[in-house]
Amino acid sequence: MAIIAAALAVLPPMAEALDESFVIGLFTRIFIFALAAVSLDLILGFGGMVSFGHSAYFGAGAYVVAILSFHGAGGDAPAWPLSLPWLESGLAAWTLAVAAAALLALLIGAVSLRTSGMYFIMITLAFAQMLYYFFVSLEVYGGDDGLSIAQRNSLPGLDLENEAAFYYVCLLILAVCLVLGRRLVHSRFGMVLQGCKENEERMLALGFPTYRYKLTAFVLAGAAAGLAGALMANYMAFVDPALMHWTVSGEIMVMVILGGMGTLAGPVIGAVVLLLLEEILSAYMEHWMIILGPVLVLVVLFARRGIWGWFREGNPDG
């Protein structure tokens, strides 16, 4: 743990010294997706809610940042009050992104959680696709072509245009969210969430209004995914509806399953492995998914608890 932390801390200066500074960006992207994967795992792995529309909150967070920038003082279409200078601060923009994603998750969750099983998977997917097509047809914000972001948000005392600074901010946010997540899953709330996954009928018979607890978790997960989306918009300096496409939901879910559901480290490891594989394999072949597919099949067959579960127990199928 300490070794990993130290390695991540010295990665930017090392990469620059070795003239391989693309590694900084690669890991920044990994941190952002890791945050999205951890947020999905909160409801998927701990709460047993198989949401197939997580890209909706990710994309919503990204679009909030992009729209604020578009209407901001330095954007293409300044419009008061969005042109107020303090809205360029990450503190304001990211908070708004989180709030918007949380509100969206509240609306979608309130409806979707009335269903369960296959219906829940389908309805969350349907909502995300609706949002995708909404932004495809929203010409004001570029429609299918997306929206460029003139410059990254600012944070007091930091220049986020500097790749290393942005790397550290993303790393710190991921670390803080992991600590909060750790407290959460072991708290009373976390126990209720895991109880709902194990046996919801029993939870009801014990007197837990499970809907409220599941909806709260759903909103928290959406909020964290929105934060990841806000970071992603900053990272790419660009957003487009593809961020909300169902394949992004699928990719985030693959990270969770690959790394290990129902753990906090699992989704992080899943994000690292998946994105590194993509980076390395896509240098050699266009259809790198041909390698990823069998790897996934092997993991699902022989290490049901994912890479982290397999590593922790040395027992692939306990």
Q: Return residues touching another protein (CB under 8 A).
A: 183-184, 186-192, 194-195, 198-199, 201-210, 213, 216
Cα(223)–Cα(123) distance, integer angstroms: 19
Q: Shortest Cβ distance from residue 182 to another protein (Å)?
A: 9
State which residue, 208 or 288, has the beta carbon closest to another protein. 208
At 154 the three-state DSSP class reads: strand
Cα(36)–Cα(279) distance, integer angstroms: 19
Q: Shortest Cβ distance from residue 247 to another protein (Å)?
A: 31
Contact in structure between 227 and 61 (CB atoms under 8 Å):
yes
State which residue, 78 or 209, has the beta carbon closest to another protein. 209
Contact in structure between 225 and 61 (CB atoms under 8 Å):
yes
Q: Shortest Cβ distance from residue 40 to another protein (Å)?
A: 19
State which residue, 187 or 282, has the beta carbon closest to another protein. 187
Q: Shortest Cβ distance from residue 318 to another protein (Å)?
A: 11
Cα(112)–Cα(74) distance, integer angstroms: 39
Contact in structure between 199 and 47 (CB atoms under 8 Å):
no
Q: Shortest Cβ distance from residue 211 to another protein (Å)?
A: 9
Cα(152)–Cα(155) distance, integer angstroms: 10
Cα(194)–Cα(54) distance, integer angstroms: 20
Q: Shortest Cβ distance from residue 50 to another protein (Å)?
A: 17
State which residue, 208 or 238, has the beta carbon closest to another protein. 208
Q: Shortest Cβ distance from residue 194 to another protein (Å)?
A: 8
State which residue, 205 or 283, has the beta carbon closest to another protein. 205
Q: Shortest Cβ distance from residue 180 to another protein (Å)?
A: 8
Give every CB contact of residue 80 below 8 A, 6+ residues apart in sequence: none
Contact in structure between 11 and 27 (CB atoms under 8 Å):
yes
State which residue, 198 or 286, has the beta carbon closest to another protein. 198
Cα(184)–Cα(127) distance, integer angstroms: 27
For residue 81, whether the previous peptide bond is cis, meaning omega lies within 30 degrees of 0, is yes
Contact in structure between 277 and 288 (CB atoms under 8 Å):
yes
State which residue, 29 or 197, has the beta carbon closest to another protein. 197
Give every CB contact of residue 281 below 8 A, 6+ residues apart in sequence: 288, 291, 292
